[in-house]
Structure 1
Amino acid sequence: MQKKIVLAGGTGFIGKYFQKKFRDLGYEVVVVSRNSCDYVWDDTKGIIEALEHSELLINLAGRSVDCRYNERNKKEIVTSRTETTEILGKALKACKNPPSLWINSSTATIYRHAEDRPMTEENGEIGTGFSVEVAKAWERSFFQFDLPETRQVALRISIVLGESGGVMTPFINLVKYGLGGAQGPGNQKFSWIHIEDLFRSVLFIQNNKSLSGVFNCASPNPITNRELMSQLRKVMGVRVGLPSPKWLLEVGAILIRTETELILKSRWVVPERLQQEGFHFIYPTIESALTQIWTEKKQKLT
């Protein structure tokens, strides 16, 4: 019988990448999402059937935070994470042969704005504000379930970099049009992970059956925003990039209906547990990650 995984919220940037990678490994990939998938969220019976005899459940579901934080959007951001997580937890409890591992997304934004020291799983300080409350509610929804046959791992994922979507498209456009300088003060930390290392960290946790709990998914080499933009200009062959002061970012955020927190919060997160367990990063430095991404982007453009 073909190996099977269930990928919830698997139609976005990360989900599509995971679909392809798992299918390349010979898995049947069953997708649960709002639409264009195998099962939708209100199909309780179908979700239970999908989970039966599967090896792994990965939940990536959640409305994008790239929006203005008005009351309607804030409610959708929270419920799209907590309600889907609870649907999956209840479905697992109803399974006769549940998967042995449930990996649920969380976010590295759960930690405070940090310019003084890195945040680890053991010693990181939980922050305050809307984004942090979302992350805390998300993890509460996940860890409320007692599942004797299923390991549970929450991934506190930093900014994911890859050639097929996410933040790279707007960053590349900024550099292309001469606006690739530091954003805001420029010294805010930028914690990131290449999408291939994110996928490989999932496989690593799957294969190491003693692992459970919370894991930071981030490169071991976080950088500043200024270093990010400098390296991106370097790999793209663009010598000059105008900086974007905070006031300009505030105006721009209103115009494109997003929040400056996505750029200005200092996320200084390191993957202490993954490193202690012996995980090896293919793209440990921003230069190696951006070089691969830009090379792939150029090949698709030619």
Structure 2
Amino acid sequence: MRKKIVIAGGTGFIGKYFEKQFRSMGYDVIIISRQRHHLAWDDKQGIVEALNNADMLINLAGKSVDCRYNEKNKQEIIRSRTSTTNLLGKSIQACSNPPSLWINSSTATIYRHAEDRPMSEEGGDIGTGFSVDVAKKWEEALFSFELPATRQVALRIAIVLGKEGGVMTPFKNLVRFGLGGVQGSGNQRFSWIHIDDLFQIVMFLRENEELSGVFNCSSPYPVTNRELMEELRKTMNVKIGLPSPRWLLEIGAVFIKTETELVLKSRWVIPERLERAGYKFTYDKLDKTLDDLLT
């Protein structure tokens, strides 16, 4: 019998990549989504049937944080993560043969703004503010379920770099138009992960059945914003990159309906648990990653 994978919220940049990889490996893939032609979130019986006898559940569902943090958007960002996670947990409880592994997305933004030292799962300081509250509530929803037959894993994912969307598109445009200089002070750390490593981490966690709990999904070599922009210009062969001071970013963020935190927060995250468990990154350094994605 073919193995079955369920990806909740699987129509975004990461979900599409995962679906393609799993299908190429011979898996049946069921997507739960608000979009047509997929299993709908309000089809509760259909979700239980999809999860029954599934090899693994991967939950990526949640409204994009690339928006202004007004009250309406804030509530929707939290609700879209916690309500879907709660629904999936209840659906697993209703299964006669539940998936042995439930991987739930979380975010590396759960840690504080850090320019002094890197944040590991055990030694990192949980931050404060709206984005941190989102991450905490998301993880609380996952781990609130007691599931004896299903391992639960939360992936604290850094900025994902890939060809088909995500942050690479706006970064490329900035550099192309000569605006690829430092953003803010340029000292803020940029923790990132190649989308292929993110997929390989999922497979690694599937194979290593003793692993559960929280994992930082980020390259072991984060860079500063200055180094990131420099490497982008170098790879794209663009000589000039005008800097963007904080005040300019604040104005620009209003116009494009986003928040400067996405650029200015210093995310200095290291994958201590994964490396200790023996995971080897294919794309550990930024230059290798950008060569793969941009050339």
TM-score computed with the length of structure 2 as normaliser = 0.99
Matches within 5 A, 1:122-271: 122-271=122-271
Q: Is the 8 A contact 1:31 1:37 kept in 2?
A: no
Extract unaligned runs of 5+ from structure 1: 296-302
- Match in the other structure for 1:274: 274
Deviation at residue 104 of structure 1 after TM alignment: 0.1
Rounded to whole Å, the distance in 2 between the matches of 1:282 and 1:86 is: 34
Deviation at residue 225 of structure 1 after TM alignment: 0.4
Q: Is the 8 A contact 1:183 1:243 kept in 2?
A: yes
Q: Which amino acid aligns with 2:190?
A: F
TM-score computed with the length of structure 1 as normaliser = 0.97
Extract unaligned runs of 5+ from structure 2: none
Rounded to whole Å, the distance in 1 between the matches of 2:61 and 2:228 is: 28
- Match in the other structure for 1:9: 9
Equivalenced residue count is 295
Deviation at residue 35 of structure 1 after TM alignment: 1.4
**Alpha-carbon displacement from aligned partner over 1:17-42 (angstroms, at most 9, x marks no partner):** 00000001110000001113431111
- Match in the other structure for 2:47: 47
Tell me the C-alpha RMSD between the 2 structures.
Answer: 0.5
Q: Is the 8 A contact 1:191 1:267 kept in 2?
A: yes
SS of the residue aligned with 2:78? helix
- Match in the other structure for 2:80: 80
**Alpha-carbon displacement from aligned partner over 1:75-132 (angstroms, at most 9, x marks no partner):** 1000000000000000000000000000000000000000000000001000000000
Q: Flag the 1:56–1:37 CA change in 2: closer, same or farther, 3 A.
A: farther
Q: Which amino acid aligns with 2:161?
A: L
Are residues 1:117 and 2:117 paired?
Answer: yes
Rounded to whole Å, the distance in 2 between the matches of 1:186 and 1:250 is: 15
> What percentage of aligned pairs have identical amino acids?
67
Deviation at residue 186 of structure 1 after TM alignment: 0.3
Deviation at residue 44 of structure 1 after TM alignment: 0.5
SS of the residue aligned with 1:152? strand
Rounded to whole Å, the distance in 2 between the matches of 1:135 and 1:174 is: 29
Rounded to whole Å, the distance in 1 between the matches of 2:59 and 2:33 is: 10
Runs of 4+ in 1 over 4 A off after TM superposition: none
SS of the residue aligned with 2:31? strand
SS of the residue aligned with 1:154? strand
Rounded to whole Å, the distance in 2 between the matches of 1:37 and 1:215 is: 32
Rounded to whole Å, the distance in 1 between the matches of 2:72 and 2:19 is: 31
